[in-house]
Amino acid sequence: MKFKVNSYHFKLLRDYERLSAFKEAIDDYAKSHDEEKSPDSLKVAFDLGCGSGVLSYFACPHMDKIIAIELNNSSYQLAKENLKEFDKIHVFNDDILSFDFSKLNEKADLIICEMLDTALIDEEEVPVLDHAKKYLKEGGKIIPEGIINSAEAVFMNNHFIQYEDDEYSPIYIALGDSMIYSEFDFLDDIDCNFSAMVDLNIYDKNELNEIGFEDEISKEIFEKFRFKDNFNIKENKLKINGIKLTSFTKLDEKIICGPTPMLNPSMLVPIEEIEVTCGDTVRIKLEYIMGGGVETINADILDIIHN
């Protein structure tokens, strides 16, 4: 089937890893729930933030009725046109956060909601699901099931929030292993006001040697970062000025995806520039509002632990 899309949704459809992961998860759901269907009940799905309608299209063969909701009017028009031949799919142009699900007189067996962003910050996945899952049947499922967030210390070229995607590749050096700092199951109640202490381990000298740290530095990075001024490996001195946030999307028990260019690309967040010793642990207080936008991010250094 050919989909009518705008330039943004064209990029979404070209992200084959993202697309195939969601299709596989929807197909897996159908296989595992085929025998559970009661002959006198409809199998219902909600597709929240349906965009051009591709996920509703994937779910269509497996469901008796699909409620697809999209706030953006141009995207709604695309979905309505793309899905017009499927009588079982009902497309609404509405804000999910104020949508009256009770007027449907039925609950969902499955909620599909791809309103995702790195660390759930800049899209409304959490507040939307908090509203909609009141209308999920007991034992119902959500795709994706959840998200895993990690952070690592970096030295970055520009001191502002940057995404690492197919349009922009920020210049930075990773200075420690990525550490998981939060994991969420979307069936659980989630507080949008996120706050956590994150311990970021800085590479020690042996680890720097093992990864060939200095050998891997490109000429561009060497010049932009005044490498000799900021990285004195002989004296075990490094500088950090940012953290990199990376999110992995848990579609179901078997499928973890990302990041991909259009599914939670990694984000670089600036922090106060400090000098550390190789092997140190930097303790950071990371705060943001899920669904509140990148302007809600705050990252403060609490302590440097010398190991």
Are 71 and 154 found together in one domain? no
Residue 1, pLDDT score: 73
pLDDT at residue 190, as a whole number: 97
Confidence class for position 186, pLDDT limits 50, 70, 90 = very high
Q: Each residue of 282-306: pLDDT tens digit?
A: 999 999 999 999 999 999 999 999 9
High-pLDDT (> 90) share of the chain, %:
76
Percent of the chain with pLDDT over 70: 92
Average pLDDT over all residues of the chain: 92
47 or 168, which is more confident: 47
The strand ranges marked E within the chain are 44-48, 65-70, 89-93, 108-113, 136-143, 146-156, 162-164, 172-174, 179-185, 193-201, 237-250, 256-257, 266-277, 281-289, 298-305
Kindly state whether residues 82 and 170 are assigned to the same domain.
no
**Tens digits of per-residue pLDDT, 199-256?**
999 999 888 888 777 666 656 666 666 666 667 777 888 899 999 999 999 999 999 9
From 148-152, 155-159, 196-200, 230-234, the region with the lowest mean pLDDT: 230-234
Q: Which of 114, 129, 156 is the last residue of a domain?
A: 114
Q: Tell whether 239 and 287 lie within a shared domain.
A: yes
Structural domain boundaries, residue 51: 7-114
Cβ contacts of residue 205 below 8 Å, gap of 6+? Answer: 233, 236, 278, 279
Q: Taking CA 250 as the corner, what is the angle to CA 246 and CA 252, rounded to the nearest 5 degrees?
A: 170
Is 124 domain-assigned? Answer: no
In a domain, 54, yes or no: yes
Q: Are residues 156 and 285 in the same domain?
A: yes
Question: CATH number, domain at 53?
Answer: 3.40.50.150
Residue 38 has pLDDT above 90, yes or no: no
Give 156's strand partners: 172
Distance CA 95, CA 104 (A): 15
pTM confidence score: 0.92
Query: What is the tens place of the pLDDT at every residue in 102-145?
Result: 999 999 999 999 999 999 999 999 999 999 999 999 999 999 99
Q: What is the pLDDT of residue 228?
A: 63
Q: Are residues 262 and 166 in the same domain?
A: yes
